[in-house]
Amino acid sequence: MPNLNRERGEVAMVMGACLWTPKILWEELGGFPEWFGSIGEDLYLCCRARLAGYPVRALGGSGFRHQVGRSFGGGKVAAGRLATTYRRRALSERNKTFVMIVCQPALLLAVLLPLHLFLIHLEGLLVAVMKRDCVLWREIYAPLLPRLWIERGRLRAERSTIQATRTIALVDWLGPFRWLPWKLRMLFRHGLPEVKDRSS
């Protein structure tokens, strides 16, 4: 969700395309996790930093030009419609779930993870049916649960490491988040996204 309020400095995360961090902090947190591949590693690092007590701030006077979708295609609004690719959506849903599992405090995770998994699969079924696109279900949503099972050991170890360094109170952790998902806002504004293969 873009922060358009110049007076609101503290945020939950910033995009990797405009992420500045001291080298010592990068090394302390371990940088971007290689096992993520790509997409969502900025979310991971920002959440990790906040849990360890470091603020994440958006500078009101800063600005940058970033060609969204250059690597994976999509991820932006084109001609008033959302446009994305199977690969980008699959990585996004997988890695956001990874971040939720390793970063959310236990009390929240117990509520949010089952709800998230139910809603993401419901979304996948509804969108696949509405768009009459079984490839969408097969490529984006169906691999999520098997991948969580395959990575369960790594996720458990990563969560243990991250939660052991947590210094932030639950109320402070929740502070910068917004409760209405950005995905829903974009759906209401632009309708269902056009999802296609990167090569098309």
Per-residue pLDDT of the chain (200 residues; tens, 9 = 90+): 566 666 677 788 777 667 888 999 999 999 998 888 888 899 999 999 999 999 988 876 666 665 554 554 455 555 566 677 888 889 999 999 999 999 999 999 999 999 999 999 998 998 889 888 899 899 999 999 999 999 999 999 999 999 999 999 999 988 887 776 666 666 666 666 677 675 44
In a domain, 168, yes or no: yes
Nearest to 36 by CA among 51, 25, 28, 47: 47
How high is the pLDDT of residue 58? 80
Give the pair of three-digit tokens for residue 122: 């419901």
The model's pTM is: 0.80
In a domain, 109, yes or no: yes
In a domain, 5, yes or no: no
In this structure, are residues 159 and 49 in contact, taking their beta carbons and an 8 Å threshold? no
Pairing of strands 81-85, 76-78: antiparallel
Q: Which residues pair with 85 in a beta bridge?
A: 196
For tokens 């979310």, the residue is: 43
How high is the pLDDT of residue 200? 42
Give the pair of three-digit tokens for residue 194: 């056009």
Q: What is the span of the domain harbouring residue 164? A: 16-196
How high is the pLDDT of residue 66? 54
Domains identified in the chain, total number:
1
In a domain, 95, yes or no: yes
In a domain, 144, yes or no: yes
